[in-house]
Structure formats: structure tokens, C-alpha cells
Amino acid sequence: LMKKAEDELIAQFEDDIKNMNDLQGEILIKLIDRETGASSYDLIKEFRGVIVASLYQTFGRLFGYNLKSTYDPKGKDKEIEQIVLMIENSEL
């Protein structure tokens, strides 16, 4: 069941994710935390195991990403939060 869900997600989002620039990738990692309440690393660890999560974190760090990043809506991610709220309220 997990493999089927993973394959469906890859089919749906792979091209979009591959075409992201660095900033878009960082924002995606933060928005995943915002929506789930867990870092990307924690989600990967939960569903794929600590070894896979550590491997992804290592490769991510090589390319400038930190899958352990968390979302801070009142601090460093305040601007992102304002934009998300505007989208949710159909103001943007």
C-alpha cells in the first residue's frame, strides 16, 4: 500500500519537484512542516525508516537543503505565513 502511494506521488509531482529552484525547495520543506506539524526528515523516518531518512538528509545537505527544517510563522517564516494566509483567504 505504501509503495503504491509513493508511486502515485512520484508520478504526480516528480516533474514539478525536479524543476524547482533552490528557494522553492526550501519553501516546500517548510510548508510540509506547516501542514503536517512534522519536519520532512521526521515524515521520511516514520514512513521509510531512519536509514533512508538519514540518507535523504545527507544528500539534501550536500545540495543545501535541511530536511529537519521547521516552520516558524512568527519569526523567520513570517513573510511566507502572510502569503499563505492571503492565498487561503482568496486575497491573492
For residue 64, which of 15, 29, 17 has the smallest C-alpha distance? 29
Provide the 10 A C-beta neighbour count for residue 67: 22
Q: pLDDT of 36-78, one tens digit each?
A: 999 999 999 999 999 999 999 999 999 899 999 999 999 999 9
Q: pLDDT of 12-42, one tens digit each?
A: 999 999 999 999 999 999 999 999 999 999 9
For residue 71, which of 41, 38, 44, 43 has the smallest C-alpha distance? 38
For residue 28, which of 61, 74, 77 has the smallest C-alpha distance? 77
Q: Are 36 and 25 in contact (CB under 8 A)?
A: no
Q: What is the pTM of this model?
A: 0.85
